[in-house]
Structure 1
Amino acid sequence: MSYLVGKIALDVTAGAPNNGLGEDNVARVKQLRVGRDVHPYVSAQAFRRWLRDSLPADEPVSPVIRSGSGQKQQAYTQGRPDLYLDDDIFGYMVAVKGDKAKTCQRDTVLATGTLVSVAPRHPDRDFGTMSRGFAAGENPVLHGHEFYSAELAGDVLLDLPRIGVFETDGTGLKVALPEPAAKEARENGAEDVSFRGASALRLGIVERRRRAALLLRTLSAVRGGAKQSMHYGDRTPALVLLAPVKGGINPFTRVFGARMGRTEFDASVLRAEIEAWADELDGQALLGWAPGFLGTQRDHVRSELADLVAAGTLAVDHPRLLLNTLAGQIERGERDSWFEDQKG
């Protein structure tokens, strides 16, 4: 049993990838305050939407159902993780009053933290005008928006044993697949298993491998974000740190820090955490770092951790290469032990 845990970083240059509530005809980016410091951020919900939208065009996604009106509206997906990868990976809640055959819930398999600017960054404000088609002498309509440049970082955890495994008993909304959906899944080849104290259905290992590999490949090429017409920019991870950990603890949350107003990756923190959690690591730690991100720090960190690389404890390469290599290993069955959970 293993969880892939670690860190994702985005490199935002003059961008506004996730906006909050507007005010006085100004579109504001999402931001939080720590004391007097301002930190722009991208919400976990937004990043997960980017991932979902970045799935291959031929990968079916769960249809969204909308009901009700006004403040009593509901929107939910089909709630069929056996049929749709996005329901499996991202989770759902379907709460249909009086219909137990449709009421179900699945906690996320992919846990994503908020991507927050490591160093404080105060957003700048730009403004534009709309006067196209106005008569001579008419005043233009003014509008404004915020944007910023920053390195954003957030935690990530992928619960590998839960991919393709769906609870069929429990209490309340904890059932992931109620009848008759469970019956249909069995007819399509899902097997009954005991999983973390509950009865569950499990898809075949080939499909489970495929879903994990597809998610990793999608992460390597994620696209999306707001204001692309004015602030288009790369949204693929500039840095990805992933390691297989047996217990689901993420020891790598503090590898980034701010010093003198600049974002820094602390190689000594990564080394210390790898050594402290050596008994829980279930394979090589992967540090995917795009050339040019954080200037010359990539070369410095590679030099500082050269002994770990030589020992096979750590691999350092481009994020896309490392993620695609790991996806290939999973597809070939070389990491099947990561999908096996503790009994009971």
Structure 2
Amino acid sequence: MSYLVGKIVLDVVAGAPNNGLSEDNVARVKQMRIGRAVHPYISAQAVRRWLRDSLPASEPVSPVVRSGTGQKQQAYTHGRPDRYIDDDLFGYMVAVKGDKAKTCQRDTVFATGTFVSVAPRRPERDFGTMSRGFGAGENPVIHGHEFYSAELAADVLLDMPRIGVFEIDGTGLKVALPGPTAAEVEADGAEPVVFRGSSALRLDMEERRRRAALLLHTLTAVRGGAKRSMHYGDRTPALILLAPVKGGINPFTRILGVRNDQTQFDADVLRAEIEAWGDELDGPVLLGWSPGFLGAQREKAETALADLVSAGRLLIGHPRTLLGRLANDIEDGARDSWFEDAKE
């Protein structure tokens, strides 16, 4: 069994990809304070929405059900992970009052942290005017918004053995498939198994491979974000580190730091963690690094880590190339052991 864990870094240049609440007719970007420093951020919900929207057009996504009015509204997906990859990988909660046949919950299989700027960056404020069609002498309508440039990073984890495996017993909302739905899924060919102490249904290996590979391909082609009419920019990972780890621990959260107010990749930290967790690694660490990102730091890292690359413990390349190769290996069955839970 293996979890794919690591770090994703986005390179935002003069962008406003995720907005917070507006104040005084100014659209503000999401931001947080650490001491006196301001750090823009992108919520995990936003990035997961981008991933959903970036799936191939041929891949069906779970329809959303909306009910109620005012403050008593509810919105939830169909809760059918057997049919929809987003319900499988991103989880859901269907809570229908008084209807146990529909109430269910699935924790996320692909976990993402909040994408926070590594170095402090105070957003700039811009303004625009609307005067088109106004008469002579009429004042324009003024509106403002914030934007920023920053490298934003978040931890990620993909629980490989849970892809395509759905709990059908337990307590409360821990059941991923309620009784009637579970019976339908089993009749469609899902295999009954015991998974981490609970009864579950498991899709066939071919479909599980396909879903894992599709997520990796989509990560390298993600698009989205707010304010694209004024601040369009690349939203694919500028840097992505993924490592197959047996226990689900993510030891690579501190590979980025700040020096002279600039984001720095710390090759010594990566080396130390690879050495410390070598017995838990289930394959080489993948470091996808887009050319030109962080200037000459990639070349310095390649030199500093050349022995790990030569030993096959670390692979460095373009994010699209490395993740595409891993996705192909998964679809070809070369990583089937990652899907098997140790407790099965």
Q: Tell me whether the two structures share a fold, i.e. TM-score over 0.5.
A: yes
What is the aligned-residue RMSD (CA, Å)?
0.5
The corresponding residue for 1:221 is: 221
- Residue 231 of structure 1 and its aligned partner are, at CA, apart by 0.2
- Residue 342 of structure 1 and its aligned partner are, at CA, apart by 1.7
The corresponding residue for 2:248 is: 248
Distance 1:342 1:82 in 2: 23
The corresponding residue for 1:137 is: 137
The corresponding residue for 1:53 is: 53
Instruction: Please tell me the residue identity of whatever aligns with 1:167.
Output: E
The corresponding residue for 2:236 is: 236
Distance 2:103 2:77 in 1: 12
- Residue 188 of structure 1 and its aligned partner are, at CA, apart by 1.1
The corresponding residue for 2:277 is: 277
Which residues of 2 match residues 169-180 of structure 1 at below 5 A? 169-180=169-180
Q: Deviations over 1:249-278 (max 9, x none)?
A: 000000000111000000000000000000
Instruction: Please tell me the residue identity of whatever aligns with 2:150.
Output: A
- Residue 23 of structure 1 and its aligned partner are, at CA, apart by 0.3
Percent of aligned positions that are identical? 78
The corresponding residue for 2:288 is: 288
Q: Deviations over 1:282-308 (max 9, x none)?
A: 001000000000000000001100000
Is residue 41 of structure 2 the alignment partner of residue 31 of structure 1? Answer: no
The corresponding residue for 1:70 is: 70
Instruction: Please tell me the residue identity of whatever aligns with 2:296.
Output: T
- Count of residue pairs the alignment pairs up: 344
Q: Deviations over 1:65-123 (max 9, x none)?
A: 00000000000000000110000000000000111110000000000001110000000
Distance 1:120 1:100 in 2: 48
Distance 1:194 1:161 in 2: 12
Where 2:207 maps in the other structure, the secondary structure is helix
Where 1:237 maps in the other structure, the secondary structure is coil
Where 2:299 maps in the other structure, the secondary structure is helix
The corresponding residue for 2:192 is: 192
The runs of 5 or more residues in structure 2 that have no matched partner are: none
Instruction: Please tell me the residue identity of whatever aligns with 1:175.
Output: V
Is residue 271 of structure 2 the alignment partner of residue 267 of structure 1? Answer: no
The corresponding residue for 2:110 is: 110
- Residue 236 of structure 1 and its aligned partner are, at CA, apart by 0.2
Instruction: Please tell me the residue identity of whatever aligns with 1:19.
Output: N
Where 2:48 maps in the other structure, the secondary structure is helix
Distance 1:67 1:204 in 2: 34
Is residue 307 of structure 2 the alignment partner of residue 307 of structure 1? Answer: yes
- Residue 343 of structure 1 and its aligned partner are, at CA, apart by 2.2
Instruction: Please tell me the residue identity of whatever aligns with 1:213.
Output: A
The corresponding residue for 1:101 is: 101
The corresponding residue for 2:324 is: 324
Distance 1:287 1:251 in 2: 14
Instruction: Please tell me the residue identity of whatever aligns with 1:265.
Output: F
Where 2:179 maps in the other structure, the secondary structure is coil
Is residue 72 of structure 2 the alignment partner of residue 40 of structure 1? Answer: no
Instruction: Please tell me the residue identity of whatever aligns with 1:71.
Output: Q
217-226 or 178-187, larger mean C-alpha shift:
178-187
52-61 or 180-189, larger mean C-alpha shift:
180-189
Distance 1:342 1:317 in 2: 31
The runs of 5 or more residues in structure 1 that have no matched partner are: none
Distance 2:214 2:41 in 1: 26
Distance 2:244 2:66 in 1: 38
Structure 1 length normalisation: TM-score?
Answer: 0.99
The corresponding residue for 1:212 is: 212
The corresponding residue for 1:166 is: 166
Q: Deviations over 1:299-323 (max 9, x none)?
A: 0001100000000000000000001
The corresponding residue for 2:201 is: 201
Distance 1:98 1:41 in 2: 39
Where 1:181 maps in the other structure, the secondary structure is helix
Instruction: Please tell me the residue identity of whatever aligns with 1:73.
Output: Q
Distance 1:254 1:290 in 2: 19
Instruction: Please tell me the residue identity of whatever aligns with 2:179.
Output: E
Distance 1:188 1:323 in 2: 32
Distance 1:299 1:17 in 2: 29
Instruction: Please tell me the residue identity of whatever aligns with 2:170.
Output: G
Q: Deviations over 1:217-237 (max 9, x none)?
A: 000100000000000000000
Distance 1:219 1:179 in 2: 34
- Residue 187 of structure 1 and its aligned partner are, at CA, apart by 1.2
Where 1:234 maps in the other structure, the secondary structure is coil
- Residue 196 of structure 1 and its aligned partner are, at CA, apart by 0.4
- Structure 1 stretches (4+) deviating beyond 2 angstroms? none
The corresponding residue for 1:7 is: 7
- Residue 136 of structure 1 and its aligned partner are, at CA, apart by 1.2
